[in-house]
Amino acid sequence: MALPVPPQTDYGESKEIPFAHAQVTAGFAAKLWKAPRRVLVEQCPYLNPTGLAEDATNYFAVKVAKLTALVVADLTFTAANGTEILTSAAHGLQTGDGPFRLTNAGGGLPSGLATGTDYWIIRIDANTFYLAASLSAAFAGTAVTFTTDGTGTHTISDTASTVRAVVLGSYSTDSAGAGTNTLPANTWTDLTLSSTPSDLVVQKDEEVALIAIEGGTATLPAGSGFVRYRPV
């Protein structure tokens, strides 16, 4: 008679998530899976056939994040072209929040920003932020540019699909070229998990996404990985 598996070793389904991104130079974010139940993420191994190395001009990052539904009250903001900074007191937003939509009353949005377009947040501080054109661009810190401040009242609003991307695990080079944060080729390397225990709990039906970021002139070689979790 087989003995039951103790809960602490019951990992349920270990999900292996292949992905190829050598052709992408601006980064991407792709949904990987939806949690079948409330689970605790315990490991995010990653393998790259050719490895990743630090470089003084090129930057690489791989992140796995859970996408948690987010509801935000409409926020009015002012815009400053040239710095691309948007100001809204005590906005409460975090980098990666989105998508959001913009509207205007009594004037026009800054030239370069548009209604009917999805934007993501790059947080600066409690009162200011940038806008990004995608989730990966938000984590890469690539802000949308605009050429006027606009007139009237600008408002940013959430949508039915607005989420907060909470990073579960990540790996990145630091562009220092010091050789201290390289990724060995053909070797499984664990992404660094969040130090906040609650971040690692994924609720039933929450989605998990892969975010790949790169900067400079090189492309990020293809890689693969999987998320290991257990029910909680």
Q: Which domains occur in the chain, in start order? A: 69-163 (2.40.30)
Task: Please give the pLDDT value at position 21.
Answer: 54
Task: Please give the pLDDT value at position 172.
Answer: 82
Kindly state the tokens that stand for 95: 């980098």
Task: Please give the pLDDT value at position 36.
Answer: 86
Give the residue-averaged pLDDT of 7-26: 53
For residues 213 and 52, give the distance between their C-alpha atoms in angstroms, rounded to a whole number: 13
Range with the poorest average pLDDT among 23-32, 98-107, 113-122, 208-217:
23-32
Scan for tokens 């899976």, then name that residue. Answer: 33
Give the residue-averaged pLDDT of 23-51: 79
Range with the poorest average pLDDT among 169-178, 180-189, 196-205:
169-178
5 pLDDT exceeds 70?
A: no
Q: What is the pLDDT of residues 69-124, one digit of tens each?
A: 999 999 999 999 999 999 999 999 999 999 999 999 999 999 999 999 999 999 99
Give the residue-averaged pLDDT of 11-17: 57
Task: Please give the pLDDT value at position 8.
Answer: 45
Share of the chain above pLDDT 70, in %: 83
| DSSP notation for 158-196 | EEEEEEEEEEEEEEE--S--SSSS-B-TT--EEPEEPSS
Task: Please give the pLDDT value at position 229.
Answer: 86
Kindly state the tokens that stand for 218: 């090189």
Kindly state the tokens that stand for 48: 């790259």
Q: What is the pLDDT of residues 189-204, one digit of tens each?
A: 889 999 999 999 999 9
45 pLDDT exceeds 60?
A: yes
